[in-house]
Chains A and B, each alone.
Chain A
Amino acid sequence: EVQLVESGGGLVQPGGSLRLSCAASGFSFDDFAMHWVRQSPGKGLEWVSGISFNGGSIGYAESVKGRFTISRDNGKNSLYMQMNSLRVEDTAFYYCAKHSGEWYSSSADFFDSWGQGTLVTVSS
């Protein structure tokens, strides 16, 4: 059974940094692309970033480009998101999601498993 467990969320001041982690199990982690998707409380879903199976291809939403950095460690079955220069509007639940294929940009594949999310609150 696929399991994705996010951690690292919390309260941070505007301009601060946070590092999210996602521990994966139940599947061959290095065979699949991974994503971060966020959801502000009471709002809709927003794709944040994706990374290919080998880390060689990466993409970001315009709203986080230059501030967030996605990475993965296939040896540790883990996905990460380094979040810098945080803004109030970054407040959201951050979900780790598994892609059903190798490349995060493959439209023939999709988000087939999700974690339960970790809450990031940016406030002074």
Chain B
Amino acid sequence: QSVLTQPPSASGTPGQRVTISCSGSTSNIGTYYVYWYQQLPGTAPKLLVYRNNQRPSGVPDRFSGSKSGTSASLAIGGLRSEDEADYYCTTWDDSLTGWVFGGGTKLTV
């Protein structure tokens, strides 16, 4: 199983808001920045949120990230059908001295 824990699935209807959680420990999320990626079917991951809550240019403000203690969350507001994808959180882990990912959350709209 993954070092970071995400729910395997999430769902919502168009226009709704959904939140995806990512749980870790003091050796990873509790100490370091969290990043979120979106992976559409058959494509490479795309950066959605960096340094806990920053959005790269071009990412709609419907996507927002937050972090508290050893957990982080990605919120997606105003859901659209094109948001159907897999979402992954990632951060550095001190104990493993490497990057770790969550198991991914499949979002259905």
Contacts and interface: CB of A to CB of B under 8 A. Distances in A.
B45 A105 contact: no
A47 B96 CA distance: 11
Greatest chain A CB density within 10 A among B43, B92, B102 is at B92
A114 B100 contact: no
Interface residues of B, number: 28
A89 to B, nearest CB: 15
Question: Which range contains the number of A residues in contact with the other chain?
Answer: 20 to 34
A107 B99 CA distance: 9
Interface in A65-124: 95, 105, 107-108, 110-112, 114-117
A14 interface: no
B35 A110 contact: yes
A59 B97 contact: yes
Nearest to A112: B47
Interface in B83-106: 86, 88, 90-92, 96-104
Nearest to A59: B98
Given A115-B44, A116-B44, A107 B92 contact: yes
Greatest chain A CB density within 10 A among B47, B91, B98, B101 is at B98
A108 to B, nearest CB: 6
A111 B45 CA distance: 9
B63 to A, nearest CB: 15
A56 to B, nearest CB: 16
Nearest to B2: A44
A62 B3 CA distance: 13
Interface of A: 35, 44-47, 50, 59-62, 95, 105, 107-108, 110-112, 114-117
Given A47-B98, A50-B99, A110-B90, 6 more contacts: A45-B37, A47-B90, A61-B96, A107-B91, A110-B51, A111-B45
17 contacts: A44-B88, A44-B102, A44-B104, A45-B45, A45-B90, A45-B101, A45-B104, A59-B97, A62-B98, A95-B45, A105-B92, A107-B92, A110-B35, A111-B37, A111-B45, A114-B44, A116-B43
